[in-house]
């Protein structure tokens, strides 16, 4: 059953394309006001999942409910609350950019002209250019404007910033942060540029071969993994470092750098003190966490060497 | 494997080439069989293969424009010069094969035979290299084929160019050989220019073969549009369509139907004078072709439907129709297309009736050409065949290019049968179908099929390519 406080409810969703199992018994619940980072390698099933949410794909098994309706039954009322930027960037190439904006805005009663003007100025969208002649980055900027111009409740961004240059990516992230000022607005962002994603998301979903391998709050995830720099207070670093849940250990220049899962900072400090060592604890960047989760690194049994 | 071998593989690895082979098989058979069955000298039978070397030059060079436009042709060692090797290898092979037909030429004795063979070889080489030029300078292949070939055939028949060329090859041996050598040197120097690879590198080139490459066609069309920023759609077209959209509710079907019509038809509507011109050209062409022209109006819906690219069913464009709205919009679009094609056919029919009274009858090589009025009942054809074609495309959308190839080959052979054999059986066949079954039944069945397929796709299938 769909919770009234849930925007998207997916349960047991499976989809197969020929011999490829694109989605395999996926369960996911998205609540309003969250910014979800959907991560995974190419072919992990991210785009397929997003297309189920807006009803473009139909599941072989399971259910997908968006705004309380089965995704296949979504009508203009529900889809008019969803903005969608996708990686293929299909647009009407023969139109000029301003004609395309006028055309798309004609479908939305709540098109925000002020937002449109601000975006055009900030992102330097060339209105007079033919859409087909735009560079990939300019096309992407236009596609984003068309997705946010009607201030959707649910914004789905499938590789939105891949074609943008670093400055425009930074502007785009600022824009996203502005968009999510409205606490009821939900954003699902699928991207390979994890350094960008981690600046805005509050929930992480990691997919691999059609399955969700991790779904949790971003803060919770960052607390789970840490990078620990261990150095001796005096003399040599011990040959064995008996820390628990060590995923990786590298030694260089008389110190060891450990990647540790599920070990509170206090316990780490206690253990280091007993070894006559000092520790510096840092949170891992999302990219490293992603590699650990997708690479399925298991904790090293026994002491780290 | 050498670079040349890889380039030569295009001749059998590309699906587009097989389409061309299928299209040309009948004329090639005719050209090849003529000198083998008719040995009478001075009648022009032997020069068919020599002249056909022009078409071979044009078609075998086309894949090379694709290769040249890839950055690796410009950057990797040996790639810039391979085009020259390729063209001369295929030219020599073509010249050799075409000249062999003169082995059966009568009354050639002693050293005359090798000299005539040599002359025929260089004549074929000249024709081949002449075909290379339009392919490399980017002349539209379709234009080159469909204008140059009929013009050559008609002019050749009228002025007996084939007989003239045969006499040149046999009687003016040394000038013919000299012309071939000069053509070869000129082409060699032209292909040796340093600027050649730079001209093509990363450029947007499209040819007849690119009917299989939808993405490349899109990019080329965009490049062409970008080069003409003031062209379509005209402002009045945009205003007109948007005003129609704005008359309907935001979630109502009317807004989506008008929106889809705008997004699919505005460029064509902007060029409405060209459509009238096209109607005039069709009226003249198929008026002169006689009653056999009827099949064109059967195939016209296929051309329109294929050009729609499954809009609005498989569009991921950011507009909010649900599956139900996509169904009504696709239906609205199909009805509009069918009615517009019906009107177009009536206009063509009306124009042909008018022209039949005005334009003269003329005779070329004993064949009399008379413009006849096109039967207005053919306007029913789009109404019957558009829904069927749409249903086929919807259901087999993954194989739409194969469908397109099939339609092209069918169209070509129907033209050949209609023009060469000049019998009315196509029309008889068409009219017997239409007459024997009441049009209402045909209309009902075809639209019912379309509705069933559309409903199935909209409710049961993934809406994305």
Separation in Å, CA B426 to CA B27, B413, B433:
21, 12, 11
pLDDT for the residue A241: 76
Q: Is residue B94 over pLDDT 90?
A: yes
pLDDT for the residue A89: 64
Mean pLDDT of B343-368: 83
Going by pLDDT thresholds of 50, 70 and 90, the confidence category of residue B155 is low
% of chain B at pLDDT higher than 70:
73
pLDDT tens sequence across A172-197: 888 888 777 776 789 999 988 888 88
Residue numbers of chain A with a pLDDT score lower than 70 = 1-4, 88-89, 183, 296-305
β-pairing, A255-261 with A225-232?
antiparallel
> Could you tell me which residues come within 8 angstroms of residue A82 by beta carbon, excluding any fewer than 6 positions away?
A54, A66, A152, A153, A154, A155, A156, B320
**Encoded tokens for B147:** 């204008």
Q: Is residue B291 over pLDDT 60?
A: no
Contact B150, B32 (CB under 8 A): no
Separation in Å, CA B50 to CA A86, A135, A198, B24, B120:
54, 47, 69, 16, 7
R_g of chain B computed on alpha carbons: 26
Give the alpha-carbon dihedral of A197, A201, A203, A209, to 10 degrees: -20
Mean pLDDT of B447-451: 94
Residue B97, H or E segment: helix B79-100
Q: How far apart are the first and last CA of chain A?
A: 50
R_g of chain A computed on alpha carbons: 23
Going by pLDDT thresholds of 50, 70 and 90, the confidence category of residue B210 is low
Contact B259 A103 (CB under 8 A): yes
Going by pLDDT thresholds of 50, 70 and 90, the confidence category of residue B181 is very high
Least confident of A78-82, B59-63, B272-276, B285-289: B285-289
Separation in Å, CA A204 to CA A5, A62, A88, A173, B280:
19, 22, 24, 17, 63
Contact A132 B221 (CB under 8 A): yes
Contact residues on chain B for A88, CB-CB shorter than 8 A? 316
Contact A261, A224 (CB under 8 A): yes
Contact residues on chain B for A75, CB-CB shorter than 8 A? 251, 322, 324-325
pLDDT tens sequence across B40-92: 777 778 888 898 898 899 888 888 877 777 766 667 777 777 888 899 999 99
More confident residue, B403 or A269: A269
More confident residue, B397 or B268: B268
Q: Which of B4-13, B220-229, B262-271 has the highest mean pLDDT?
A: B262-271
Going by pLDDT thresholds of 50, 70 and 90, the confidence category of residue B267 is confident
Contact B321 A73 (CB under 8 A): no
More confident residue, A14 or B317: A14
Selection from A84, A48, A76 nearest residue A64 by Cα: A48
pLDDT for the residue A281: 86
Residue that has been written with the tokens 């950057």 in this structure: B75
Residue A16, H or E segment: strand A8-17
Selection from B377, B350, B372, B376 nearest residue B434 by Cα: B377
Calpha distance B193→B204 (Å, rounded)? 20
Contact A92 B229 (CB under 8 A): no
Q: Shortest Cα distance from B193 to chain A (angstroms)? A: 30
Going by pLDDT thresholds of 50, 70 and 90, the confidence category of residue B263 is confident
Selection from A209, A158, A192, A194 nearest residue A26 by Cα: A209
Contact B251 A80 (CB under 8 A): yes
B215: exposed, middle or buried (Cβ count in 10 Å: 0-12, 13-18, 19+): exposed
Q: Is residue B432 over pLDDT 60?
A: no
Domains, chain A, ordered by start: 8-209 (3.40.50.300), 223-295 (3.30.70)
pLDDT tens sequence across A204-226: 999 999 999 999 999 998 888 88
Q: Shortest Cα distance from B278 to chain A (angstroms)? A: 22
For B370, other C-beta atoms within 10 Å of its C-beta total 13
B193: exposed, middle or buried (Cβ count in 10 Å: 0-12, 13-18, 19+): exposed
Calpha distance B171→B181 (Å, rounded)? 18
Contact A133 B262 (CB under 8 A): no
Q: Is residue B228 over pLDDT 80?
A: no
For B25, other C-beta atoms within 10 Å of its C-beta total 12
pLDDT for the residue B255: 92
Interface test with B, best of A130, A141, A155 (most B CBs within 10 A): A130
More confident residue, A31 or B285: A31
Calpha distance B437→B447 (Å, rounded)? 15
More confident residue, B68 or B320: B68
Tell me the average pLDDT of chain B: 79
pLDDT for the residue B40: 76
Q: Is the ipTM of this complex over 0.95?
A: no
Least confident of A155-164, B413-422, B430-439: B413-422
Cβ contacts below 8 Å, chain A against chain B, sum to 113
> Could you tell me which residues come within 8 angstroms of residue B192 by beta carbon, excluding any fewer than 6 positions away?
B81, B84
Q: Where are the domains of chain B?
A: 3-205, 271-460
């Amino acid at each position: 059953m769909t919770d009234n406080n849930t925007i998207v409810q997916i349960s047991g969703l499976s989809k197969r394309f020929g011999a490829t199992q694109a989605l395999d018994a996926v369960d996911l619940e998205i609540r309003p006001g969250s910014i979800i980072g959907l991560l995974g390698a190419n072919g992990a099933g991210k785009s397929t999942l997003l297309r189920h949410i807006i009803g473009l794909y139909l599941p072989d098994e399971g259910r997908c409910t968006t705004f309380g309706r089965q995704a296949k039954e979504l009508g203009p009322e529900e889809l008019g609350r969803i903005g969608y930027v996708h990686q293929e960037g299909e647009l009407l190439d023969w139109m000029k950019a301003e004609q395309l904006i006028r055309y798309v805005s004609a479908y939305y009663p709540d098109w925000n002209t002020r937002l449109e003007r601000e975006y055009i100025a900030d992102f330097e969208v060339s209105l007079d250019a033919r859409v087909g002649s735009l560079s990939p980055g300019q096309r992407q900027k236009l596609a984003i404007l068309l997705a946010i111009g009607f201030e959707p409740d649910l914004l789905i961004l499938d590789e939105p910033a891949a074609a943008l240059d670093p400055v425009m990516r930074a502007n785009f992230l600022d824009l996203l942060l502005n968009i999510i000022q409205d606490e009821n607005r939900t954003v699902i962002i699928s991207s390979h540029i994890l350094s960008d994603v981690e600046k805005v998301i509050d929930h992480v979903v990691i997919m691999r071969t059609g399955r969700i391998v991790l779904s949790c709050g971003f803060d919770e995830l960052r607390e789970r993994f840490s990078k620990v720099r261990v150095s001796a207070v005096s003399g040599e670093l011990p040959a064995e470092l008996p820390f628990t849940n060590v995923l990786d250990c590298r030694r260089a220049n008389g110190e060891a750098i450990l990647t540790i899962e599920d070990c509170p900072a206090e316990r780490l400090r206690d253990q280091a003190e007993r070894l006559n060592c000092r520790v510096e604890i840092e949170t891992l960047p999302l990219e490293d966490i992603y590699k650990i989760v997708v690479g399925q690194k298991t904790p090293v049994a026994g002491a780290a060497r | 494997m050498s670079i040349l071998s890889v380039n030569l593989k295009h001749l059998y690895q590309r699906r587009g080439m097989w389409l061309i082979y299928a299209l040309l098989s009948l004329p090639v058979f005719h050209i090849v069989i003529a000198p083998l069955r008719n040995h009478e000298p001075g009648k022009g039978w032997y020069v068919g293969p020599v002249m056909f070397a022009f078409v071979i030059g044009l078609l075998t060079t086309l894949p090379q424009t694709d290769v040249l436009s890839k950055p690796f042709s410009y950057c990797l060692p040996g790639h810039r010069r391979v085009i020259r090797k390729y063209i001369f290898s295929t030219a020599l092979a073509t010249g050799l094969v075409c000249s062999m037909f003169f082995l059966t030429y009568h009354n050639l004795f002693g050293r005359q035979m090798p000299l005539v063979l040599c002359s025929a070889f260089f004549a074929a080489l000249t024709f081949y290299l002449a075909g290379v030029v339009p392919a490399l300078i980017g002349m539209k292949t379709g234009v080159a084929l469909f204008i140059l070939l009929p013009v050559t055939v008609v002019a050749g028949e009228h002025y007996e160019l084939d007989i003239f060329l045969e006499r040149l090859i046999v009687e003016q041996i040394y000038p013919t050989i000299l012309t071939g050598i000069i053509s070869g040197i000129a082409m060699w120097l032209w292909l040796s220019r340093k600027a050649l690879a730079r001209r093509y590198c990363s450029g947007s080139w499209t040819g007849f073969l690119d009917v299989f490459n939808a993405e490349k066609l899109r990019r080329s069309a965009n490049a062409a549009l970008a080069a003409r920023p003031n062209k379509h759609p005209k402002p009045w077209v945009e205003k007109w369509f948007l005003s129609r959209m704005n008359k309907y509710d935001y979630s109502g079907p009317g807004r989506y139907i008008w929106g889809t019509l705008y997004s699919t038809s505005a460029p064509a509507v902007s060029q409405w004078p060209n459509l009238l011109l096209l109607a005039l050209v069709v009226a003249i062409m198929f008026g002169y072709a006689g009653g056999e022209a009827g099949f064109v109006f059967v195939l016209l819906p296929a051309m329109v439907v294929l050009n729609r690219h499954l809009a609005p069913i498989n569009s991921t464009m950011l507009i909010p129709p649900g599956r139900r709205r996509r169904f009504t919009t696709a239906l609205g679009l199909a009805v509009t297309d069918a009615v517009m094609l019906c009107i177009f056919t009536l206009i063509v029919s009306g124009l042909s009736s008018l022209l039949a009274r005005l334009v003269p009858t003329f005779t070329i090589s004993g064949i009399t050409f008379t413009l006849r009025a096109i039967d207005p009942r053919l306007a029913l054809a789009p109404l019957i065949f558009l829904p069927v074609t749409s249903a086929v495309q919807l259901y087999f959308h993954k194989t739409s290019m194969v469908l397109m190839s099939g339609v092209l080959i069918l169209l070509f052979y129907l033209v050949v049968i209609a023009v060469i054999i000049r019998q009315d059986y196509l029309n008889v066949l068409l009219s017997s179908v239409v007459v024997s079954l009441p049009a209402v039944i045909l209309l009902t069945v075809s639209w019912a099929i379309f509705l069933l397929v559309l409903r199935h796709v909209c409710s049961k299938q993934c809406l994305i390519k």
